[in-house]
């Protein structure tokens, strides 16, 4: 029975140690027993002490080692640093990539319920020539290009950006039937696998008011024809929908809203649910989730970090049937 939950501590120059502490402190003993952290033991120890957060740490060599539930189990990854909250970009980058590689290897051994990676500054992933953690793990899983899906989840609604971290001026060039087909088939398949039901999918247009559906618009030339083809493949999809009114009330008719670009769906979603959301990567060979926020470098050391999203990540993976 797979029951262990692996947390990658992520960006060392961040609020991650704080949200790990706050989450771990509020979990029951049963869940605490399942948690293992991939990080640097000395880094976390010094960060907790600097923040005056009292927590017991213990180093383990593998997922087979069991310790007292009140201790945070650390699988150590080497890291050179002088100031625990000012690790050099080069060292931080090497550390983050090592941690993610280790997490991937352990997940592929099929002994985990899932992995959670704490927030990472995307510039730390650049040396891998990938945009971010999602793309890095997808490449390591040998996933076909664009088959991975970033889904931001709350029990009341999920959103998916068709394109993720690209400039707005490039969005229109990326939209086509093949991209929609690959993303929507992955979404449909893995949503059913996770939640045992076929999702009702609302697909947004690109332009304000869907460009009034003019003949030369992306809505008429690309999006609407793609949706019709997807419906013939059995997807329960409706669109193109108008984004400026959907998130007032109409979103409640759907399980998932798909937008053409990142902020089109992430901005209204976060306005609705704030930190009560998690990022789920669909399409990998294992379950991977992460908090739906960044490393919070502007509040490092101020003990103001909100740990709700990480807590929801842990609870989500814990309740999965394996």
State the CATH number of the domain containing residue 236. Answer: 3.40.718.10
DSSP 198: P
Domain boundaries, position 174: 145-283
Examine the pLDDT at 255 and tell me if it is beyond 90.
yes
Task: Record the tokens describing residue 258, joined without a space.
Answer: 């798909």
Measure Cα distances from 180 to 118, 216, 228, 307 in Å.
29, 19, 11, 34
| pLDDT number for residue 322 | 66
205, 211 Cβ separation under 8 angstroms: yes
Examine the pLDDT at 273 and tell me if it is beyond 50.
yes
Stretch 286-296: mean pLDDT, rounded?
95
Structural domain tally of the chain?
A: 2
Q: In the Cβ-directed half-sphere of 48, how many Cα atoms lie within 13 Å?
A: 19
- 275 and 185 inside one domain: yes
- 264 and 156 inside one domain: yes
Stretch 285-313: mean pLDDT, rounded?
95
The closest of 277, 284, 286 to 310, measured between CA atoms, is 277
Stretch 103-128: mean pLDDT, rounded?
91
- 250 and 304 inside one domain: no
| pLDDT number for residue 102 | 96
| pLDDT number for residue 1 | 45
Distance CA 322, CA 320 (A): 6
Distance CA 157, CA 249 (A): 12
- 96 and 215 inside one domain: no
Stretch 195-207: mean pLDDT, rounded?
96
- 60 and 120 inside one domain: yes
| pLDDT number for residue 66 | 76
- 207 and 94 inside one domain: no
The CA-based dihedral angle spanning residues 44, 47, 51, 57, taken in that order and rounded to the nearest 10 degrees? 20
Q: CB count, 10 Å around CB of 251?
A: 21
- 87 and 104 inside one domain: yes
Stretch 281-301: mean pLDDT, rounded?
95
Examine the pLDDT at 131 and tell me if it is beyond 80.
no
- 191 and 320 inside one domain: no
Q: Chain-wide mean pLDDT for the chain?
A: 94
- 186 and 102 inside one domain: no
Distance CA 2, CA 317 (A): 11
- 243 and 153 inside one domain: yes
Confidence of residue 132 (pLDDT cuts 50, 70, 90): confident
Stretch 11-22: mean pLDDT, rounded?
97
Confidence of residue 173 (pLDDT cuts 50, 70, 90): very high
The pTM (predicted TM-score) of the whole model is 0.93
| pLDDT number for residue 182 | 95
Stretch 295-318: mean pLDDT, rounded?
96
Specify the 3-state DSSP secondary structure of 126.
helix
What pLDDT, in 10s, does the model give residues 50-86?
999 999 999 999 888 876 678 999 999 999 999 999 9
- 128 and 69 inside one domain: yes
Sign of CA dihedral 108, 135, 290, 185: negative
């Amino acid at each position: 029975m797979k029951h262990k939950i692996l947390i990658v501590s992520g960006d060392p120059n961040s609020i991650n140690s704080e949200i790990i502490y706050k989450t771990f402190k509020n979990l029951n003993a049963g869940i605490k027993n399942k948690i293992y952290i991939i990080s640097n033991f000395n880094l976390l120890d010094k960060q907790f002490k600097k923040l005056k957060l009292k927590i017991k740490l213990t180093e383990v060599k593998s997922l087979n080692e069991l310790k007292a539930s009140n201790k945070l189990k650390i699988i150590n990854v080497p890291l050179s640093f002088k100031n625990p909250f000012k690790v050099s970009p080069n060292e931080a980058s090497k550390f983050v990539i090592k941690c993610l590689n280790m997490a991937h290897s352990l997940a592929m051994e099929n002994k985990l319920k899932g992995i959670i990676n704490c927030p990472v500054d995307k510039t730390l992933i650049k040396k891998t020539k990938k945009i971010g953690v999602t793309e890095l793990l997808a490449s390591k899983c040998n996933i076909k290009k664009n088959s991975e899906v970033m889904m931001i989840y709350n029990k009341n609604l999920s959103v998916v950006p068709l394109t993720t971290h690209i400039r707005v001026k490039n969005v229109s060039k990326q939209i086509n039937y093949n991209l929609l087909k690959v993303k929507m088939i992955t979404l449909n398949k893995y949503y059913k696998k996770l939640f045992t039901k076929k999702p009702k999918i609302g697909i947004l247009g690109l332009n304000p008011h869907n460009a009034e559906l003019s003949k030369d618009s992306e809505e008429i030339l690309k999006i609407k024809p793609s949706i019709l083809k997807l419906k013939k493949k059995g997807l329960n999809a409706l669109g193109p929908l108008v984004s400026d009114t959907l998130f007032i009330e109409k979103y409640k008719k759907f399980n998932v809203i798909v937008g053409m670009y990142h902020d089109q769906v992430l901005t209204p979603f976060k306005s609705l649910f704030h930190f009560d959301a998690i990022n789920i990567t669909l399409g990998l060979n294992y379950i991977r989730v992460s908090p739906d926020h960044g490393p919070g470098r502007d509040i490092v050391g101020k003990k103001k970090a909100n740990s709700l999203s990480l807590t929801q990540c842990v609870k989500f993976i814990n309740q999965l049937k394996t």
